[in-house]
Amino acid sequence: MATWSSRGLRGSTLEELINRTCQQYREKKLALIQKVPTPITPVRIDQNSRHITLAYFDQKSTVDYIGAVQGIPVCFDAKECCTDNFPLQNIHAHQVEFMKDFEKQQGIAFLILYFSHRDEIYYMPFQEMYAFWERGQNGGRKHFKYSELSPRWFLQRTGSIMVPFLEGIQKDLESR
């Protein structure tokens, strides 16, 4: 079983931006997306602050977010990257399988990638992610490069919407 300790806020910037965006989409009645909680069992708790300092994951999580957009089921995972090379080891086999099965059920699966050093957000359709995944599984590079990404899928912040993934979903639907 995987455990975590002291890597606490990894990914929290993107997660907070997505959570805010999901709330705005819900208020506007455009989408209903929820964060999927990661089930953990605490091992050590700091008695003074009541914070969990060591825990293990009860089971493998699927994706970070799941919900519906105008009646269309969607699921996605959010990943942060601080370089121009994204390691495929950050995408787990059970996540790929879940997203693959989700797509087979007529849902839309994708990744939201935040290149923190560039302050850029990328919508990666499942098909693109799966192609990189398969390449890595079949002896190719175990990462993909920023330069391999299509400019078409970079998301532009508009107004108060920090992670406008509905724009990515719209393009994704149009390309199917």
The pLDDT tens digits of the residues spanning 52-109 come to: 777 665 556 689 999 999 999 999 999 999 999 999 999 999 999 999 999 999 999 9
**Could you tell me which residues are annotated as the binding site?**
62, 64, 77, 95
The predicted structure's pLDDT at residue 45:
79
pLDDT surpasses 70 at 9: no
- The pLDDT assigned to 46 comes to 79
What are the sequence ranges of the domains in the chain?
A: 3-174
pLDDT at residue 44 above 90?
A: no
Q: What is the mean pLDDT of residues 12-36?
A: 93
Following DSSP, what letter does each residue of 92-105 receive, concatenated? -HHHHHHHHHHHHT
Name the pTM for this structure.
0.83
Q: Report which of residues 75 and 50 the model is more confident about.
A: 75
Enumerate the known binding-site residues for Mg(2+). Answer: 62, 64, 77, 95
CATH topology of domain 3-174: Trna Endonuclease; Chain: A, domain 1 (3.40.1350)
| First and final C-alpha spacing in the chain | 38
What is the reported pLDDT for 39? 64
Structure token digits, residue 16: 């907070």
Per DSSP, the chain holds a count of helices (H) and strands (E) of: 4, 11
- φ, ψ of residue 44 in degrees (nearest 5): -135, 135
